[in-house]
Amino acid sequence: MPKGYWVSAYPDLPDPESLTTYNTLAGPAVQAAGGRLLSHIDSRVVAHEAGIPQRVILIEFDSFEQAVAAYESEAYQKALLSLPNDVERDFRIIEGIN
């Protein structure tokens, strides 16, 4: 069964401290749903071509379905409510190849 991945990119994050509450709630919600953090907001990024050297978070789940269920979980939805309105985020759930 192909794995599932959350990919979150933050094109503009003027104040990383504004994510403190979100991180406090999202981390345990993701772990409880079986997610594994593969990169974090302070990971190094090299952008090529039309890429933007933005902050990127990558989280792996055992399946695509598990990744979708984690996003839809009550615990993660509560974390989403704590994201500040001025945080710009590009979030995707993608299915791995195998």
All structural domains of the chain, each given as residue ranges with its CATH number in brackets, are: 4-95 (3.30.70.100)
- Distance in angstroms (rounded) separating the CA atoms of residues 67 and 61: 6
Instruction: Report pLDDT for 17.
Output: 84
- Name the pLDDT band for 43 (thresholds 50, 70, 90): confident
72, 81 in Cβ contact below 8 A?
Answer: no
> Residues of the chain with pLDDT > 90: what percent?
62
pTM for the full predicted model? 0.89
Q: What is the DSSP letter of 73?
A: S
List the beta bridge partners of residue 56: 9
> What are the start-end ranges of the H helices in 2-73?
20-32, 64-72
Give Cα 87 distance to the centre of its chain. 13
Distance CA 77, CA 98 (A): 28
